[in-house]
A and B are shown apart, each in its own frame.
Chain A
Amino acid sequence: MEQWQRKVSRRDALRLLSAAGGLAMVKWSQARASVAEQLPVNQQIEPFTGPGPNPHWNSVGPYVNEPQKAPLILLTDRPVQLETPRSYFRSVLTPNDAFYVRWHLPDIPHRVDLAEWRLKVEGNVDKPQTLSFSDLTEKFKPVSVTAVNQCSGNSRSRFQPRVAGGQWGNGAMGNAVWTGVRLRELLDAAGVKQGSVQVQFQGLETGQGPKGSGSNVFLKSLELSDSALDEAVVAYLMNGEPLPMLNGFPLRLVVPGYFATYWMKCLTWIRVLGTPDENFWMKTGYRVPDTPRGNTTPEEMKAGGVRTVAISRMPVRSFLISPDGSSKIPAGISVTLQGIAFSGYGKIVKVEASEDGAKTWREARLGQDHGAYSFRTWEVVWTPKIAASYTVAVRATDEKGHVQPDEPVWNPGGYLWNRIEKQEIVVGKVSGGASR
């Protein structure tokens, strides 16, 4: 009896155990399935964005390898246009191999013979100059300036309605220490003639188009009276190294505060003009409405009569670089919101961050001052207590009192975007409690 009982009970126990085990297995596989469903899917990004705005920080092209470059985001391969990924802006200086690339015309150098190459300073001058690379490095005093180079069309993919052109995200910008010769010194050496009005820059960027058209040669000019010329440098070093070919080796014009369209790559001719430059890239291209923020509407454009001016200085901008929203943050820990800010109108004096979608603001701590036209890093510590999705926003103020607005801008060229940037940040639960 006892034996039987024991036998039965043992069998019962085993049955019970296996039943419990079975149940647990079912629960386990259910749990496994539900957790597995929660794994993020590494989905390939969409091949294009629109007609709505591009929702991503960068543009959506694939990463590609180009000579002397880290993998960058491809916009176009001929002419070459490459965007810098967001994470490279964690440092105040943008590495040369990660620096964005933008050319207008297909025929750009991939070989320059420095034994033969000469910079010409010509046109309306008394003593035209022909200078070798060593003339530039040895006969003139080297100067350095840290300055942001930003494409006029940076963030064009935010425009509504969308406009044709390079569909940049936010990565058509970079900051570097540029070393070379003061432009004014070269002009003084050549002796600018009385009555001259502009100075034209020409590099080694050409195309198949007919002479006199914009597709034949890329040319830009600045007014001789423009104070930006006083700060301009003809640079042979970028972050202490020769320029990458795709960024304008061997020499690039640097115009601190101005959009990159004036920063002529592979600069080979500096030409003093007695009459204003009427070439396509001045008269038709790179023009913005002569309105506050360069803002207009498609309707106003259609109606005609929108007066335009050549694009010039960069409006104030700021960016959150980290965290970038790609990972969750555990509730209750302190994270450092960090990023960069700059303005073409001078020094950044204030950066503010918001964690409630630009309703309330907190002042950020500014990083080291690298000069009025450099990126200025900023950071602010944030301790999100409650699991939720937060909209972090950032806005900067420059020394002229310009503050970034929360309104979009629209013009047909897709230029001058500087709306307040926003980033969704998800904070996750760290305990069983309702709030944490």
Chain B
Amino acid sequence: MRKRLSVLIPGLILIAVGTAVFAQFQSGSYGSTQTNSIEQTVPPQLAQDGNFSVAPFPSFVPELAEGEGRAETQDFCTTCHSTRYITMQPPLPAPTWDAEVNKMIKTFGASIPEATAKEIISYLQEHYTPENRKH
């Protein structure tokens, strides 16, 4: 009996302590997937003349929704601005996209043929409204 307890008690204590310690904290979890990082850049070489310059401003080209009118949208809108101007927006109602494209043409003087403008508007209305925007 004494022998029995001498095995049982330390064993149970070990388990109890192990469980109790485990309940207090947890460690050693690492993600298994690759996540995005931003690379560092090296300081530029500087000459002692009057030119103060910086590297070209980088492009971050977003993935536009696949569909009819995507090529036209990419070609014409990027004359003045990157397509981030589209993907940054919240989902906008169809009439707002119509107004936006028309503002680019009438107010800002974008040179877009009428038929192409219609294609661009329907592309935006097809993929970037509250009803249909996915990404």
Instruction: Tell whether A pairs with B.
Output: yes
Q: Which residues of A contact B35 (CB under 8 A)?
A: 42, 44
Q: Say whether A111 contacts B3, CB under 8 Å.
A: no
Measured CB to CB, the nearest residue on chain B to A159 is B90
Asked if B59 is at the interface of the complex by the 8 Å CB criterion, the answer is yes
Indicate with 1 or 0, residue by residue over B22-42, a CB within 8 angstroms of chain A CB atoms: 110010010100011011010
Closest to A59 in B: B88
What is the CA–CA distance of A47 and B3 in the complex, to the nearest angstrom? 66
Contact B91 A64 (CB under 8 A): no
Residues of chain B within 8 A (CB-CB) of A16 are 8
B22, B79, B88, B107: which contacts A48 (Cβ < 8 A)?
Answer: B88
In the complex, which residues of chain A have a beta carbon less than 8 angstroms from the beta carbon of B59?
Answer: 77-78
Complex CA gap A26/B59 in Å reads 53
The answer on a CB contact under 8 Å between A10 and B4 is: yes
Contact call A215/B7, Cβ cutoff below 8 A: no
Partner among B26, B41, B56, B107 whose Cβ is within 8 Å of the Cβ of A214: B107
B130 engages A51 (CB within 8 Å): yes
| Contact pick for A209, options B56, B80, B87, CB 8 Å | B80
CA distance A24 to B57 in the complex (A): 59
How many A residues touch B, CB cutoff 8 Å? 72
* Residues of the B chain whose Cβ atoms lie less than 8 Å from the Cβ of A111: 51-54
Interface core residue of A39, A65, A284 (most chain B CB under 10 Å): A65
CB distance from A334 to the nearest CB of B (A): 24
Q: Which of A28, A47, A246 contacts B87 (CB 8 A)?
A: A47
Interface size on B, residues (CB 8 A): 53
A371 to B10, CA, bound (A): 69
Distance (whole angstroms) from the CB of A258 to the closest CB of chain B: 24
Which residues does chain A contribute within 8 Å of B87, judged by CB atoms? 47-48
The distance from the CB of B132 to the nearest CB of chain A, in whole angstroms, is 12
Q: Is the CB of B58 within 8 A of A65?
A: yes
Interface residues of B in 45-64 (CB under 8 A from A): 49-60
| Docked pose: A309 CA to B100 CA in angstroms | 22
Interface string of B68-97 (1 = CB under 8 A from A): 000000000001111011011111100010
Pair count A-B, CB < 8 A: 168
> How many Å lie between the Cα of A246 and that of B52 in the bound state?
12
The complex places the Cα of A238 from the Cα of B81 at a distance, in Å, of 28
User: Across the interface, do B55 and A213 meet the contact criterion of CB distance under 8 Å?
Assistant: no
Interface residues of chain B: helix, strand, loop or mixed (majority) = loop
Per-residue CB contact flags for chain A residues 80-117 toward chain B (1 = under 8 Å, else 0) read 10000000000000000000000001101011111110
Q: Are B3 and A114 within 8 A (Cβ)?
A: no
Report yes or no: B57 in contact with A164, Cβ–Cβ below 8 A: no
CA distance A61 to B18 in the complex (A): 44
Interface majority SS (helix, strand, loop, mixed), chain A: loop
Q: Which residues of B contact A246 (CB under 8 A)?
A: 54, 57
* A65–B91 alpha-carbon span in the complex (Å): 27
Contact partner, A162, options B22, B26, B92, Cβ 8 Å: B92
Is the C-beta of A222 less than 8 angstroms from some C-beta in chain B?
A: no
Q: Which residues of A contact B91 (CB under 8 A)?
A: 48, 50-51, 162
* A100 CB → nearest B CB, Å: 15
| Given A66-B57, A213-B109, residue A31 in contact with residue B19 (CB < 8 A) | yes
Q: In angstroms, how far is the closest chain A Cβ from the Cβ of B33?
A: 10
9 smallest beta-carbon distances between A and B, as pairs: A50-B90, A115-B50, A67-B54, A111-B53, A215-B108, A210-B109, A162-B90, A78-B82, A76-B84
A48-B88, A78-B57 are known; give 10 further A-B pairs, CB within 8 A. A6-B3, A20-B11, A76-B84, A111-B52, A114-B50, A162-B90, A162-B91, A164-B100, A167-B90, A208-B79
- Residue positions of B touching A, CB distance < 8 A: 1, 3-4, 7-8, 11-12, 15, 18-19, 22-23, 26, 29, 31, 35-36, 38-39, 41, 49-60, 79-82, 84-85, 87-92, 96, 100, 107-110, 130, 133, 135
- Residue pairs across A and B with Cβ atoms less than 8 A apart, 9 shown, are A9-B4, A24-B19, A28-B19, A31-B19, A64-B58, A65-B38, A77-B82, A116-B50, A249-B52
